[in-house]
Structure 1
Amino acid sequence: MAMVSQIGLKVQAVMSFHQCGGNVGDSCTIPLPRWVVEEMEKEPNLAYTDQWGRRNYEYVSLGCDDLPLLKGRTPVQCYADFMRSFRDRFAAMLGSTIVEIQVGMGPAGELRYPPYPELDGT
């Protein structure tokens, strides 16, 4: 960020609380943090599930937002702590170097249910 600021570029920060990769247009793969995946492996109901029982593990279901299922913390607490930490660390650059913050949530970054996992042709 310091180098970006020094040469006068601007930053659009993207805070994605979902996996990247496996969907239409994805050219990279950035998985969920391992500690989140471990909890989803222990309890598959944390993932989005459609009426046919297909699960989408790109994001912790919104139905779990207020449940302390991530090492005793809720997903909303984790998101808030991350954003607060970002704000505190880069406060001097907000509005000057960092000109936009985008937040992506839900499968494929969308608040959509049921999920549409293009990966398996559905």
Structure 2
Amino acid sequence: MMANRNLILSGTGKEYLDILCDRLDVERPQGLKIAFAKGISNAQGNVSVTQNEGNKQNWAIPDGIIREKEYLLFKHLIINELQTSLSDDEVNKQMLNYMEFGLRVISNELKQLSSMEDYRIKVLS
């Protein structure tokens, strides 16, 4: 079965994910997919994010949250973005990088919202 494996989200990323899920009223798996989409759509090639920001507890993303057709789609989006072939381990690493990057983009967008704006509309742009 093709699925994500061994992904460890930084403590900061976990904090941003919880805020995102609260603001959009979605579960964590959906929040991670939104973060990936935001990350890869805002990236220009390879991204790297500082994983250890402070003493926040990292979070192990459960295996198989992204599986089968979704995993295959994410894999090919990553390969297309990076313009290179990747092993499954490299795909998982890059998937995590795009999620972390997307969560930081989303966090910045949330900080810039006025009190009258709804992020459910903003996330689509």
By the TM > 0.5 criterion, same fold? no
Instruction: Give the strand-richer structure, 1 or 2.
Output: 1
Q: Tell which structure's C-alpha radius of gyration is larger.
A: 1
The two structures have a TM-score, normalised by structure 1, of 0.26
More helix by share: 2
Higher relative contact order (CA 8 A, sep 6+): 2
